[in-house]
Homo-oligomer: A and B are copies of this chain.
Amino acid sequence: MTPTRKGKRRIVTLKQVAELAGVHASTVSRALNPSTRSMVMPAVVERVVKAANNLGYRPDPVAASLRTGRSALVGILVPDIANTVFAPILSGASERLSAQGYSVILADVGNDESKQIDLVTGLMARRVDGLILATVSRDDPLVAYCVEQDLPAVLVNRAETQSRLSSVVSDDTLGMKMAVDHLVELGHRRIAHLAGPARHSTGFLRRRGFTAAMTANGLDADAAPCENADAFARGAGAAAMRQLLDTSPDITAVVAANDLLALGAYDALRERGISCPGDISVIGHNDMPLVDMVEPALTTIRISHREMGRQSADLLQQAIEQHDVPVRTIVLPPQLVVRRSTAAPRMRG
């Protein structure tokens, strides 16, 4: 009959508190809920609170959730927790969310993009109040799904082409401009781009930012060598860099779409005995942990992922609590961090 698995866990219900306080259960509910507390006389509130404390009453969120349809639960979808870019985002978001009274259901999506919608359906069944999506591609059916289902959701780190949901991203255009400007100031002219996957906004926008920055510096962007990596991964970066070296051996600098790609480029350079920054300068993007310790210490564009996480949590809270908040895109400014992987180009005979 009793569904509790173990004898030890006693559950104190509203009704018991009500009895002790000498009021009806519904009054207890009102007295204990901050947003309805004003309906109850202060003296009664006090009596109820005291009774609740005496009994060690803990409201049952499951029962409340069944009744209200809300859950104080937020789902966060990440493509890969082990990726050092997403961990700080998650950390920032969960910090802020728990301060706001939400718990986090974490879903590590992996590469199973097809399963994402099912996953979200499952989260909706659990009555999550909203979603933070760090997984979306530039044109992701998941976004349409959330909009359609009227499920509050915000994007973080990546954005989609149509802005149907609020998002928090870094200013990729500005970041690339900082990177290219830095190299041009050092004297570079033959600058290549190691691009990331174009299906993600980060890959796409950084590539476009690279082109724009080259043009702005009076360089022929169309002629600039560019190689696409299939993934934001070290191996993919190495492969793309090898291609680049085969095709355009005369480059003096390369702007990578992220740090992992840059590190892959290091691998390719090392294989061929090409020195960095002596022969070729390399610049990354993200400033992930430890890139200051690699050899040579990586010059890169710093993004505050943790802050992105925090802001996405704030945005989501608004989307949940107010009904019609307009879509907003928060663009965080990146920062150039100069280390040892960039230097003036070597004079050529």
A279 to B122, CA, bound (A): 57
Chain A interface residue count, CB cutoff 8 Å, equals: 59
A287 to chain B, nearest CB (A): 13
**A interface majority secondary structure:** mixed
* A306 at interface, CB cutoff 8 A: yes
> Mask for A257-281, Cβ within 8 A of B = 1, else 0?
0000001001000000000000000
Residues of B within 8 A of A6 (CB): 150
A228 to chain B, nearest CB (A): 23
* A87 at interface, CB cutoff 8 A: yes
* A36 at interface, CB cutoff 8 A: no
A219 to B5, CA, bound (A): 55
Number of copies: 2
Query: Which residues of chain A (95-143) have a CB below 8 Å from chain B?
Result: 95, 98, 103-108, 110, 121-127
A294 to B293, CA, bound (A): 5
A95 to B80, CA, bound (A): 11
A125 to B90, CA, bound (A): 24
A186 to B66, CA, bound (A): 65
| A90 B84 Cβ-Cβ under 8 A | no
Stretch at the interface among A67-75, A165-173, A199-207: A67-75
* A63 at interface, CB cutoff 8 A: yes
* A328 at interface, CB cutoff 8 A: no
Stretch at the interface among A37-45, A54-62, A155-163, A189-197: A54-62
Residues of B within 8 A of A34 (CB): none
| B108 A105 Cβ-Cβ under 8 A | no
* A348 at interface, CB cutoff 8 A: no
* A326 at interface, CB cutoff 8 A: no
A–B Cβ pairs within 8 angstroms, 12 of them: A62-B66, A62-B126, A62-B127, A66-B66, A81-B91, A83-B87, A84-B289, A87-B87, A94-B107, A263-B293, A266-B293, A290-B291
Q: Identify 5 new A-B residue pairs, CB closer than 8 A, beyond the known A8-B148, A290-B290.
A: A5-B70, A9-B124, A62-B62, A81-B88, A294-B295
Chain A residues with CB under 8 Å of chain B are 3-6, 8-9, 58-63, 65-71, 73, 76, 80-84, 87-88, 90-91, 94-95, 98, 103-108, 110, 121-127, 148-150, 263, 266, 289-291, 293-295, 306
